[in-house]
Structure 1
Amino acid sequence: MNNHPRIHAMIVAAGRGSRFGASIAKQYTLLQGQTLLQHSVARLACSKYIDRCLLVVAADDNTAQTLDFALPIEYANGGAERWQSVQAGVIAIDEIESDDSDLVLIHDAARPTVPSRDIDRVIEAAMTEPYGAILATPVADTLKAAYTQSNLTDEWLDEGRQHTYAKRTVDRSNMWQAQTPQVFRLGQLKKVLSHVSAHQLLITDEASAFEHLDLPIRLVTGSRQNIKLTYPDDAILLAAILTAQA
C-alpha cells in the first residue's frame, strides 16, 4: 500500500532573468536542442514520485504552451515577485483535490542539471519533516565581506570611480548554498506565504519565508552539478554537464 503524501511538482518560470542579459527569458535558452524549461521538466519526470507538473509562467508568455514536455503540464500565471509566482502556483494546487499534508516541490526552470537521485532524496527527506526540506551544498570557497568606496588618490584611476574591497573573511563552517528543488508541506507553505504577503518581506527562496518564522527546514546535501543559469558563462558549464550526464 502506498502511504506517502501526494507530491505536487511546480516549476517557477515567470521571471525575465535580467542578469542573464539575453533578449529572451532565460528559461527558453536552448541547450542541446531543447530549452532549459524542457530540460528541467525532463529531470522531474525521472523521479518516481512525480507524474505531472505545474508551470508558473508570465501572463504574457506565449512560448511555454508551444513546447513538448516529458510530463503532463498544467499552467498558472505568475506575479512580479518570485514568492507571488509560487503563491499563484499554490492557489492552483489548492483548487484541485489536495490536502494540507501534501508536499509541494518547487524547482527553478534555470536548473536543468539536477540529478534525479537528488530529487528523490529531497522528497524523501521532506516526507519525514513537519515543514520541509531543500537541496543545498556546503560552501567550499573562502567568503569575503566587501565594501565599496571611491579611490581619489591614484592618478591613473578615473577620479570618483567606485571600487570594491575585501573587508573581512566570513566563517563558512555553517554556510550552505541553497538549490532547488525545495519541498514543503502544502498547508505550512500557504501560511508562510501569507506571512510574506502581510509583512511585504523580501525573500529569495521559499525556505527564507520559513526562516523568518523560525520554522526548521532540513538541508539535504545536493550535487554541485545542480548549477543555475544566471550569467552567460553558465551556459557553457551547463552544456558540459548535460553532455557528461547523458
Structure 2
Amino acid sequence: MNTTPRIHAMIVAAGRGSRFGASMAKQYTLFQGQTLLQHSVARLACSVFIEQCWLVIAADDTTAQTLDFTMPVQYATGGAERWQSVQAGVEAIRQSGAADTDLVLIHDAARPAVPSCDIDKVITAAMHEPYGAILATPVADTLKHSYAQDARLPTYIAQTLDRSNIWQAQTPQVFRLDQLQKVLQHVSEQQIAITDEASAFESLSLPIRLVAGSRQNIKLTYPDDAVLLSAILSLQA
C-alpha cells in the first residue's frame, strides 16, 4: 500500500452551532483575539503533513474570506447537512487533481485545541489503513441510559451501560479519498442519518481505526464549554 499519499485538509464550517446559542455562527466566536476558525486552521498548519486547507462554508457566509489565516486556504460551499458539506469539500478536492489513494483530513472548526502531535498521529495511522482512522478518547464517566414517559416529565435512570469498549469520537478524521466518496454516495442514496464521517463507513461495516487522542481536544458546543476551552488555549499558547 502507498504509505506516502498527499494529505488534503478540510475544515467544515458551514453550520451555525444552534446549541451554543450565540447570534453569530459559532466558528466566528472570538478567543484571544482570533476566531475559532482561525485557531483551528492555525492548529492544522502546525502539522508537518499539511500545507493548505479547504474551508467549507455556508453560501451566505460573508465573514470567512475577510479573515487572515496562517496557511493558504481555498473555499467550497457547504450544504444543509454536515455530510453534504463534506461531500462538497470532497468534490472540490477531487477537482483539484487529488488521487484515489490520497487522504482527506476532516476537522471541526469548533475544535481549535487539538494538539498538533495528535494530528500527525492520526494521519500516520490512516496512511497504513485501507479506509482511514479517527481521533477518539475512551469514555471515562459512568454512562446511564434514561427513560421518561413524556418529554414534559422528569427523566429517570433505566440502566448503567458498559463503557469498557465505548469511545468518544473527535476530529480530525482521516480517510482515503475514493473510499470517502463511495460511502458519502451511499449515505445520500440511502438517506442515512450520520453524525460524523466515520458513521458513514460504519453503515457499510468498513473498519476505521481508533487513535487515542488528548482530552484537551474539546468541542465548543454549549456556552459552558467556552470557559474550559479558553483555559486550554491559554495553557497551549
Q: Distance in 2 between matches of 1:212 and 1:120?
A: 27
Deviation of 1:196 after TM superposition, in Å, equals 0.1
Q: Distance in 2 between matches of 1:168 and 1:32?
A: 42
TM superposition outliers: structure 1 runs of 4+ over 3 Å: none
- Determine which structure has more spread, i.e. the larger CA radius of gyration: 1
Deviation of 1:100 after TM superposition, in Å, equals 0.5
Residue correspondence of structure 1 range 22-37 to structure 2 within 5 A: 22-37=22-37
Residue correspondence of structure 1 range 71-150 to structure 2 within 5 A: 71-149=71-149
Say yes or no: does 1:240 pair with 2:204: no
Deviations 1:163-218 (A, max 9, x none): 11110000000000000000000000000000000000000000000000000000
Look up the SS of the partner of 2:174 in the other structure.
Answer: strand
Deviations 1:34-56 (A, max 9, x none): 00000000000000000000000
RMSD over aligned CA atoms reads 1.2
Say yes or no: does 1:204 pair with 2:195: yes
| Alignment: residue pair count | 236
Deviation of 1:3 after TM superposition, in Å, equals 6.1
**Structure 2: runs of 5 or more not aligned:** none
Say yes or no: does 1:175 pair with 2:163: no
2:205 aligned to which of 214, 220, 228: 214
Look up the SS of the partner of 2:18 in the other structure.
Answer: coil
Q: Distance in 1 between matches of 2:115 and 2:70?
A: 16
Deviation of 1:161 after TM superposition, in Å, equals 4.0
Deviation of 1:84 after TM superposition, in Å, equals 0.2
Look up the SS of the partner of 1:196 in the other structure.
Answer: helix
Amino acid paired to 2:25: A
Q: Distance in 1 between matches of 2:163 and 2:105?
A: 28
TM-score when scaled to structure 2?
Answer: 0.98
Deviations 1:60-84 (A, max 9, x none): 0000000000110100000000000
TM-score when scaled to structure 1?
Answer: 0.94
